Structure 1
Amino acid sequence: MSQPAYVAVDWGTSSFRLWLVDRSGDILGERRSQEGMIAAGKLGFPAVLQSHLDAVGAANGLPVIVCGMAGARQGWVEAGYVDTPAPLASILKQAVAVPGQDRDIRILPGIAQRDPRAPDVMRGEETQLLGVLGMDAAGDALVCMPGTHSKWVKANGATVERFATFMTGELFDVISRETILSHAVAGADEETECEAFQSAVTRAFETPANAANLLLQVRSGQLLYGGTPSSAREKISGTLIGLELAGGLAGGAPRAAITLVASGRLQTLYQLAFDTVAVPVRSIGAEDAVRRGLSMAAQSIWNV
């Protein structure tokens, strides 16, 4: 039976994921909860982590590698940032040890773009990039990482040159709940209306300057011509994702396929959006990417 070699943790703002891993990278145990940075800040980061370590039977001396918001300024221990252009190897070298613990716990830093014209930060996504690109990547790459705050990353080999964050997921949540468009989506079911979504993607991608007007048309069109709440939801989603693609591809589509790092519904929607604007992508699961990145970090730090 395989022996655990380390524990990998993806600690987000509102979510917590932990994996007990052996030397081959196989998962021996797993924990998930909503005890992200916000909850852990109240409960205590050490207590939250220990409860999950106990649940998977992690031995006392087993090391723990952590990425995400546990390393934010308001998190457990601030892990800082690696500045762009950021070699992914620097992320491993600048991992921060958590003081006062009985086991070796390291938190990976984020990446900062210190450009007054386009200041930006990421924390957690750098580990996904490590899992996607690896340490020996060659050539240019464009990576799209959808989420509450979507990241578009331009990399050269294993170095992050530039990136941009789009508040697509957060805007969708606020617009669909806190504006007049909340009436349009009330009672929407889970069905994805592809035609409504694709039409909205196309219009926003082709005329991004009309974004505010396109969003209002979701409600006015429903009032004048009818339409289901699900269709309205897809139009809002398609409009926002179309805007994101217009921004992310502002310099033109790359020659090679874009790497899409996403899972579940986001993977489905973004794949459909890229297909709609005829841009090829290759898709990698977001959770697979972060686990690979954490494994590479653990192997580099502890030679496990």
Structure 2
Amino acid sequence: MTTSTLFIAVDWGTSHLRAYLCKVGEGSELTLIDQCDGPGVVKVNQHFQQTLIHAITPWTAQYGVLPIYIAGQITSTIGWHETPYLECPINPEGLLDAAVSFECEGHTINALPGTKCTLQNTLIDVMRGEELQILGFLKQNEQYQTGKILLCLPGTHTKWVLINNGKIICFKTAMTGELYDLLCHQSVLIPDDCAEGEFDWQAFEQGCDLTLGSDSGNLAHGIFSVRTRQLSKELTPVQAKAYLSGVLIGSDVRAARYASEWQLLSNTQVVVIGTKQLNTCFTKALTKIGVQCSEFDIKSATLSGFNYLYQSA
């Protein structure tokens, strides 16, 4: 194995750092050699260089200096080296053109830009990292490079993204995952001593039904039902966590259903790009309003995007 075919890809978001040691072989196919996880941007107290070098030390000890590509919140105002936001509509193939390069202990690091759009209500929305994953998804699914399609990328900050002929037209962000984490750990809704348990899909769907069928503005009341349904012994704390997830995801899907930027009709197809668990959650909620869904793995999309940019360089 020669180091000329190796590079390190780092997806560094708000909550997690995910680093990948990648090899590009014949036919431009990418092989994942190794991977490691670490703390997200908000959890490392600005010690970005130390955190990254610590994560990749086993790889550099074996292979020496390697090119590194980083994407996500690590390139934002709360991150390491800020990169610009590119205005939509944008073809994600051009991300590398606006990358910011810098040196770190002998490594050349390419920090990828984010994207921004202005919505019909004049509000500005931004994202960092998801545009790379969208690029990777499109490269692996050429049938979606023509025509319109709506993507859902669930996570800490869920993104709903309108694609037209391979370009990112606009997108909307919902803080669904972050709200879930805050409400689980910093509110009265879930007991501090709540044990981990198997995800209760029935409780999840009950939460979805509540907000999918509710009047606009009913989310805050719906959230409080997480507590009252435990007080009335309808839900255990473990079930309540799944129910809360359903309440939040149901509200997220309801907002996407009535968004003015696209038409989420009963025959619309949405591609959900996330982890297996989140894909299932959002697909269940979308199916309840008659939307057809297909699912794609977020890790595969991420690596595909990095692979394209590495080879473009």
Question: What TM-score does the superposition give when structure 1 sets the normalisation length?
Answer: 0.87
Which of 189, 206, 212 is the matching residue for 1:181? 189
| Residue in 1 that maps onto 2:38 | 33
2:138 to 111, 122, 133: 133
Deviation at 1:188, TM superposition (A): 5.0
Alignment-derived partner of residue 52 in structure 2:
49
Aligned twin of 1:13? 14
Which AA in structure 2 matches 1:70? I
* Residues in 1 aligned to 2:209 and 2:67: alpha-carbon distance in whole angstroms: 48
AA matched with 1:22: K
**Residue 95 of structure 2 corresponds to which residue in structure 1?**
91
Q: Secondary structure at the match of 1:134?
A: helix
Superposed displacement of residue 145, structure 1: 0.8
Q: What is the Cα deviation at residue 44 of structure 1?
A: 4.4
Please, which runs of 5 or more residues in structure 1 have no aligned partner?
none
Q: 1:202 aligned to 2:205?
A: no
Report % sequence identity. Answer: 28
Post-superposition, which runs of at least 4 consecutive aligned residues in structure 1 deviate over 6 A? Answer: none
Determine the C-alpha separation between the residues in 2 that align with 1:119 and 1:288: 29
In the TM superposition, residue 271 of structure 1 has moved relative to its aligned partner by 2.6
Aligned to 1:278: 290
Residues 78-227 of structure 1: pairs in structure 2 closer than 5 A = 78-99=82-103, 102-115=106-119, 117-134=122-139, 137-183=145-191, 187-209=194-216, 210-224=218-232, 226-227=234-235
Indicate how the Cα distance of structure 1 residues 108 and 181 shifts in structure 2: closer, same or farther if over 3 A, else same: same
Which of the numbers 258, 280, 304 marks the counterpart of 1:268?
280
Q: CA deviation at 1:143?
A: 0.6
Q: Distance in 2 between matches of 1:92 and 1:40?
A: 26
User: Which deviates further from its counterpart, 79-88 or 224-233?
Assistant: 224-233
Q: Distance in 2 between matches of 1:77 and 1:66?
A: 10
Partner Cα separation in structure 1 for residue 89 and residue 160 of structure 2: 15
Between the aligned partners of 1:244 and 1:213, the Cα distance in structure 2 is: 15
Going from structure 1 to structure 2, the CA distance change for 1:170 and 1:52 (only over 3 Å counts) comes to closer
SS in 2 for 1:221: helix
Match of 2:239 among 227, 231, 255: 231
The SS at the match of 2:86 is strand
Q: Distance in 1 between matches of 2:131 and 2:187?
A: 33
SS of 1:278's equivalent? coil
Deviation, 1:227, is: 2.7
Distance 1:50 1:219 in 2: 43
* 2:299 corresponds to 1:287: yes
What is the rounded CA distance, in whole Å, between the counterparts of 1:297 and 1:107 in structure 2? 12
Match of 2:71 in 1: 67
Evaluate the alpha carbon distance shift between residue 243 and residue 100 of structure 1 in structure 2; reply closer, same or farther with a 3 A threshold: closer
Give the aligned CA root-mean-square deviation in angstroms.
Answer: 2.5
Distance 2:241 2:56 in 1: 40
Q: Contact conserved, 1:41 with 1:76, CA < 8 A, in 2?
A: no
Cα distance change of structure 1 residues 228 and 22 upon mapping to structure 2, 3 Å threshold: same
1:39, distance to aligned residue in structure 2 (A)? 5.2
CA 53–208 in structure 1, closer or farther in 2 if over 3 Å, else same: same
Q: Structure 2: which amino acid aligns with 1:238?
A: G
1:83-139 per-residue CA deviation (whole Å, 9 max, x = no partner) reads 111221231221111157634321110111245722111111111111112396111
The change in CA–CA distance for 1:224 and 1:75 in structure 2 (over 3 A counts) is: closer
* Corresponding residue SS for 2:209: helix
- Over 3 Å counting, the alpha-carbon distance change for 1:233 and 1:5 in structure 2 is closer
Q: CA separation in 2, counterparts of 1:228 and 1:50?
A: 43
The whole-number CA distance in structure 1 between the counterparts of 2:47 and 2:229 is 47
216-225 vs 73-82, which moves further: 216-225
Q: Point out the more displaced range, 185-194 or 226-235.
A: 185-194
User: Structure 2: which amino acid aligns with 1:112?
Assistant: K
Superposed displacement of residue 186, structure 1 = 5.5
- With over 3 angstroms needed to count, the CA separation of the structure-2 counterparts of 1:161 and 1:193, relative to structure 1, is same
